[in-house]
């Protein structure tokens, strides 16, 4: 392991058998829960989490201790806690790794949280795409119940608490906390207006706390090592570590965990191994459809909530998708808008119609039908959506558009003015030709061409009919001799 | 049509309250590969939930299908990294070879197609899954070979 890495949340991944409670206990697992229940008051547990400076890892970065206190103090017949394992960002896989690789850490964290706020029932919401994570968590819960870490009168104390796993049914918006509550209640995953916030009125109208997988997995560490120890890691306002899933055009994609404050460059170049084929770094998109792109002038910012926000990025879900000079920023913005448009639940107009219009404009730009006015129009639309959308989906769907417009405006201008895609990605703006010198006439391209645009005899150079060509790039993809050339 | 006994087995796992609706539908989807209409009616009655509510839930979530899915469920990853590594082209290649769009099933009932977000194997982008088997770095020309291994010999 590299010196930069600092595994707290990921400490057990790959190191212990995730299906064995004994293995988790052998590395100190459930010691925090035992200690809390026997030596600490519930207030002391809350105090420790509060003092540690832990902030939510699911997007907003809200102070966890403060959220818990609201819930603890809110009146209610019963209280609930939820673990958000939706991980809907299409570039993130860190929560999945923790759920699959160390499920007991989540169970223990939730039991500690339940003790702190006085909850009797917890739910773990697991994304639809993660069946193995759901299975592992269910196994962990059963084992914990058998060993007396969950259920009635835990470890012989008056504290009772249990957890149910709920598998997602395929809706990104269910990662949003009020939509998630609707899901667990058996309804469609539509968000609702806040306030009231879940710590006041959550599941079945009762006080509820919702925290992200990584947030929960930090809790046993804080109780075990102490708030001061934890608060000594990281920066002034971002304590502890952050887990990232690093992917895209990097040599070593994977999961890394570093102290808050580590320079972004180290995460991408030292841990991520740098850019594939040593091409040029262009930007990193953080937090997917709700995040922004950070171009190379931000490579030296520290990873923490504040500096990311100031740069127009978002630490958010912890995904980093790295892009090189072969990635088109207009196409990336279009990709995320397509995602957000498909996933918009349709309840509020700014998000439903806004994502639709943005997607339409971006699609036209990638086809060479955009105008300079479109760029200004998109900025206006984004401002309305950010201000008027009901939930974070619509409010943050604008981030990929605004950040690419801000940092890569010249790339948009090349699309609208010159009708060119400099990164050679946007199909309608490309031109494919066959280099007669290198073409061997193997006919691989001819067989792949859908529209019969390629003609030529076997072992003779092929030719592409520009009138018929739909620029799908299949010929380029299948040519083993690099004889198909592409330009814009 | 749903096998009443199997539906009973599923229902017996739950208390029978409205909040059980989604887990019950998920179990039926897993068991039958889709949500048969008669089963939805029975579930509505047993959980005391209006049938309209059952349908609104069954159609809101992508994990449910009102039509039977194929024997082999093909998933093309449309996650960010796969997108940057030719995911669109891969999807088009699969669509063309199967002759169906995402959400559809081939007439012989062998294959159904779905687009999914990141399957967490970004290091191998672009990724294609058939049932529980994952294939990485799939070129368009590799699709036929993969699908062939699942086709029922005539
Ligand atoms: C559209 C949308 C999607 C979200 N997806 C997730 C998600 O996948 N996982 C997550 O933990 N939080 C997600 N959130 C944030 C949650 O609403 C909530 O703030 C978070 O789970 C709180 O946990 P934390 O305080 O530990 O960060 C999403 C929010 C929005 C608006
Ligand atoms: S984006 Fe396809 S596996 Fe991650």
Q: Are A478 and B141 a contacting pair at CB < 8 A?
A: yes
Interatomic CA distance for residues B105 and A487, integer angstroms = 37
**Hey, where are the domains in chain B?**
4-60, 72-148
- Nearest Cβ partner for A186 among B18, B78, B79: B18
Atom nearest to B119 CA in ligand 2: 3
Residue A302 C-alpha, separation from nearest chain B C-alpha, in angstroms? 24
Task: DSSP letter for A250, please.
Answer: B
The DSSP line for B78-111 is -SHHHHHTTHHHHHHHHHHHHT--TT-B-TTSSE
> Element (H or E) spanning B130, and its range?
strand B128-130
Per-residue pLDDT of chain A (488 residues; tens, 9 = 90+): 567 999 999 999 999 999 999 999 999 999 999 999 999 999 999 999 999 999 999 988 999 999 999 999 999 999 999 999 999 999 999 999 999 999 999 999 999 999 999 999 999 999 998 999 999 999 999 999 999 999 999 999 999 999 999 999 999 999 999 999 999 999 999 999 999 999 999 999 999 999 999 999 999 999 999 999 999 999 999 999 999 999 999 999 999 999 999 999 999 999 999 999 999 999 999 999 999 999 999 999 999 999 999 998 888 889 999 999 999 999 999 999 999 999 999 999 999 999 999 999 999 999 999 999 999 999 999 999 999 999 999 999 999 999 999 999 999 999 999 999 999 999 999 999 999 999 999 999 999 898 999 999 999 999 999 999 999 898 998 999 999 999 99
**Hey, where are the domains in chain A?**
21-231, 241-324, 339-418, 430-487
Residue B153 C-alpha, separation from nearest chain A C-alpha, in angstroms? 25
Which chain B residue has its CA at the smallest distance from A336's CA?
A: B80
Name the H helices within A118-246. 131-146, 177-184, 213-225, 227-231
ipTM, two decimals, is 0.93
Q: Are A386 and A398 in contact (CB under 8 A)?
A: yes
Q: How confident is the model at residue B141 (pLDDT cuts 50, 70, 90)?
A: confident
Residues of A29-55 as b/e, b for ≥16 C-beta within 10 angstroms? bbebbeebbeebebeebbbbbbbbbbb
A92 Cα: distance to centroid of ligand 2 (angstroms): 9
- What is the structure's pLDDT at A389? 96
pLDDT one-digit tens code per residue, B11-35: 999 999 999 999 999 999 999 989 9
Q: If one looks up domain A339-418 in CATH, what number appears?
A: 1.20.1440.230
Topology of domain A241-324 in CATH is Ubiquitin-like (UB roll) (3.10.20)
A58 Cα: distance to centroid of ligand 1 (angstroms): 5
Task: DSSP letter for A202, please.
Answer: -
Residue A322 pairs with which residues in a beta bridge?
A: A248, A284
The DSSP line for A53-107 is T-B-SSSS--BHHHHHHHHHHS--SS-EEEEEE----TT--HHHHHHHH-HHHHH
Chain B residues whose CB is inside 8 A of the A129 CB are: 116-120
A341 at interface of B, judged by CB pairs closer than 8 A: no
Among chain B, residues having any CB pair with chain A shorter than 8 Å are 18-23, 25-26, 49, 53, 56-57, 60-64, 78-81, 83-84, 86, 89, 92-93, 96, 116-120, 122-123, 125, 139-141
Interatomic CA distance for residues A108 and A149, integer angstroms = 8
A264 Cα: distance to centroid of ligand 1 (angstroms): 23
Q: Are A445 and A484 in contact (CB under 8 A)?
A: yes
Q: Does residue A86's CB lie within 6 angstroms of at least one atom of ligand 1?
A: yes
Topology of domain A430-487 in CATH is Alpha-Beta Plaits (3.30.70)
Which residues, at least 6 apart from A6, have a Cβ–Cβ distance to it below 8 Å?
A: A233, A241, A257, A258, A259
Quick one: which ligand is closest to A190's CA? 1
Which residues, at least 6 apart from A31, have a Cβ–Cβ distance to it below 8 Å?
A: A25, A224
Atom nearest to A87 CA in ligand 1: 8
Interface test with A, best of B13, B47, B84 (most A CBs within 10 A): B84
Quick one: which ligand is closest to A89's CA? 1
Interface test with A, best of B16, B22, B78, B92 (most A CBs within 10 A): B22
Which chain B residue has its CA at the smallest distance from A188's CA?
A: B57
- What is the structure's pLDDT at A129? 87
Q: Does residue A374's CB lie within 6 angstroms of at least one atom of ligand 1?
A: no
Quick one: which ligand is closest to A54's CA? 1
Q: Other C-beta atoms within 10 Å of B139: how many? A: 13
Interface test with A, best of B59, B96, B103, B118 (most A CBs within 10 A): B118
Interatomic CA distance for residues A358 and A368, integer angstroms = 15
- For residue A359, how far is the Cα from the chain centroid? 21
In residues, how long is chain B?
Answer: 154
Task: DSSP letter for A189, please.
Answer: -
**Closest alpha carbon to A268 in A306, A320, A305:** A320
Provide residues with CB under 6 Å of ligand 2: B 77, 79-82, 118-122, 125, 127
The SS3 assignment for A237 reads coil
Interatomic CA distance for residues A223 and A40, integer angstroms = 10
Atom nearest to A57 CA in ligand 1: 27
Question: A404 to each of A183, A282, B75, how far by Cα in Å?
Answer: 33, 11, 30
The DSSP line for A335-373 is HHHHHHHHH--S-SHHHHHHHHHHHHHHHHHHTT---HH
Give backbone dihedrals phi and psi of A261, rounded to 5 degrees, phi first.
105, -15
- Nearest Cβ partner for A185 among B19, B25, B26: B19
The DSSP line for A413-425 is HHHHTS---TTS-
**Closest alpha carbon to B136 in B126, B149, B151:** B126
Peptide bond preceding B37: is omega within 30 degrees of 0, i.e. cis? no
- What is the structure's pLDDT at B151? 85
Chain A residues whose CB is inside 8 A of the B49 CB are: 186
- Nearest Cβ partner for A169 among B26, B56, B120: B26
Which A residues in the span 272-291 are in contact with B, Cβ-Cβ below 8 Å?
A: 285, 288
The DSSP line for B31-53 is HHSS--HHHHHHHHHHHT--HHH
Homologous superfamily of domain range A21-231: NADH-ubiquinone oxidoreductase 51kDa subunit (3.40.50.11540)
Question: A240 to each of A232, A267, B71, how far by Cα in Å?
Answer: 8, 16, 47
Chain A residues whose CB is inside 8 A of the B95 CB are: none
A187 at interface of B, judged by CB pairs closer than 8 A: yes
Is B119's pLDDT higher than 90?
A: no
Largest CA distance in chain A: 84
- What is the structure's pLDDT at A2? 67
Name the H helices within A389-472. 392-397, 399-407, 409-416, 444-448
Q: Are B81 and A247 a contacting pair at CB < 8 A?
A: yes
**For ligand 1, atom 12, which residue shows the shortest CA distance?**
A58
Angle at B146 between CA B140 and CA B151, to 5 degrees: 125
Interatomic CA distance for residues A75 and A77, integer angstroms = 7
The domain over range B72-148 is classified in CATH as 3.50.50.60 = no
**Closest alpha carbon to A262 in A5, A456, A484, A470:** A5
Chain A residues whose CB is inside 8 A of the B22 CB are: 166, 169, 183, 186
- Nearest Cβ partner for B22 among A90, A186, A253: A186
Pocket test for ligand 1, best of A110, A176, A341 (most atoms within 8 A of CB): A176
Is B154's pLDDT higher than 70?
A: no
Which residues, at least 6 apart from A116, have a Cβ–Cβ distance to it below 8 Å?
A: A42, A43, A45, A46, A49, A68, A72
Which residues, at least 6 apart from A12, have a Cβ–Cβ distance to it below 8 Å?
A: A18, A24, A27, A101, A102, A105
Tokens 């010196």 locate to A3
Task: DSSP letter for A259, please.
Answer: E
- Helix, strand, coil percent values for chain B (each to nearest 5): 45, 10, 40
- Nearest Cβ partner for A169 among B64, B89, B125: B64
pLDDT one-digit tens code per residue, B40-97: 999 999 999 999 999 999 999 999 999 889 999 999 999 999 999 999 989 999 999 9
A199 at interface of B, judged by CB pairs closer than 8 A: no
Give backbone dihedrals phi and psi of B29, rounded to 5 degrees, phi first.
-60, -45
Tokens 């030529």 locate to A456
Q: Are A140 and A99 in contact (CB under 8 A)?
A: no
B118 Cα: distance to centroid of ligand 2 (angstroms): 4
Half-sphere exposure of B141 (CA within 13 A, CB side): 15
Interatomic CA distance for residues A269 and A264, integer angstroms = 9
Interatomic CA distance for residues A341 and A359, integer angstroms = 7
């Amino acid at each position: 392991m590299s010196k930069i890495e600092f595994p707290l949340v990921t400490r057990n991944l790959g190191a212990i058998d995730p299906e064995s409670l004994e293995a988790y206990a052998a590395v100190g697992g459930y010691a925090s829960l035992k200690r809390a229940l026997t030596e600490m008051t519930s207030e002391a547990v809350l105090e420790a989490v509060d003092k540690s400076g832990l902030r939510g890892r699911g997007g907003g970065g809200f102070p966890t201790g403060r959220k818990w206190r609201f819930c603890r103090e809110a009146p209610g017949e019963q209280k609930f806690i939820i673990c958000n394992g939706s991980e809907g960002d299409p570039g993130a896989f860190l929560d999945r790794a923790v759920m699959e690789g160390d499920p007991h850490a989540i169970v223990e964290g939730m039991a500690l949280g339940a003790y702190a706020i006085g909850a009797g029932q917890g739910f773990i919401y697991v994304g639809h795409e993660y069946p193995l994570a759901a299975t592992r968590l269910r196994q962990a819960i059963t084992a914990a119940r058998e060993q007396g870490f969950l259920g009635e009168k835990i470890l012989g104390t008056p504290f009772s608490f249990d957890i149910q796993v709920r598998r997602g049914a395929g809706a990104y918006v269910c990662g949003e906390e009020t939509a998630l509550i609707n899901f667990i209640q058996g309804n469609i995953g539509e968000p609702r207006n806040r306030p009231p916030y879940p710590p006041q009125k959550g599941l079945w109208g009762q006080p509820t706390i919702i925290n992200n997988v990584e947030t929960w997995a930090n809790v046993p560490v804080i109780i075990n090592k102490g708030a001061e120890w934890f608060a000594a890691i990281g920066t002034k306002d971002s304590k502890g570590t952050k887990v990232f899933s690093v992917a895209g055009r990097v040599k070593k994609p994977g999961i890394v965990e570093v102290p808050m404050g580590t320079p972004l460059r180290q995460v991408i170049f030292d841990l991520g191994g740098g850019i594939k084929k040593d091409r040029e770094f262009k930007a990193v998109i953080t937090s997917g459809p709700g995040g922004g792109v950070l171009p190379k002038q931000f490579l030296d910012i520290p990873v923490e909530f504040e500096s990311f926000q100031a740069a127009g990025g978002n630490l958010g879900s912890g995904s980093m998708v790295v892009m090189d000079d072969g990635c088109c920023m207009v196409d990336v913005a279009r990709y995320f808008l397509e995602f957000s448009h498909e996933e918009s639940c349709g309840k509020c107009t700014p998000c439903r119609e806004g994502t639709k219009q943005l997607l339409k404009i971006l699609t036209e730009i990638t086809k060479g039908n955009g105008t300079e006015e479109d760029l200004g129009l998109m900025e206006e639309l984004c401002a309305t959506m950010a201000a008027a959308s009901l939930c974070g989906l619509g409010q943050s769907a604008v981030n990929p558009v605004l950040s690419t417009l801000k940092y890569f405006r010249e790339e948009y201008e090349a699309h609208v003015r010159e009708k060119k895609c400099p990164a050679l990605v946007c199909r309608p703006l490309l031109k494919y030709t066959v280099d007669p010198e290198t073409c061997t006439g193997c006919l691989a391209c001819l067989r792949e061409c859908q529209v019969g645009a390629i003609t030529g005899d076997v072992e003779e150079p092929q030719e592409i009919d520009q009138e018929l060509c739909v620029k799908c790039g299949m010929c380029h993809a299948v040519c083993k001799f690099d004889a198909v050339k592409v330009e814009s | 049509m749903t096998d009443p006994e199997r539906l009973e087995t599923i229902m017996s796992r739950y208390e029978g309250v409205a909040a059980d609706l989604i887990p019950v539908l998920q179990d039926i989807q897993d068991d039958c590969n889709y949500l048969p209409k008669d089963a939805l009616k029975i579930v509505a009655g047993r959980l005391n939930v209006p049938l309209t509510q059952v349908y609104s839930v069954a159609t809101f979530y992508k994990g449910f299908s009102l039509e039977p899915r194929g024997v082999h469920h093909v998933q093309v990853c449309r996650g960010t990294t796969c997108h940057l590594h030719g995911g669109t082209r891969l999807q088009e290649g699969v669509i063309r070879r199967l002759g169906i769009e995402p959400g559809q099933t081939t007439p012989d009932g062998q294959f159904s197609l779905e687009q999914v977000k990141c399957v967490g194997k970004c290091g191998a982008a672009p990724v294609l899954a058939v049932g529980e088997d994952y294939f990485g770095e799939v070129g368009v020309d590799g699709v036929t070979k993969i699908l062939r291994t699942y086709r029922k010999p005539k």
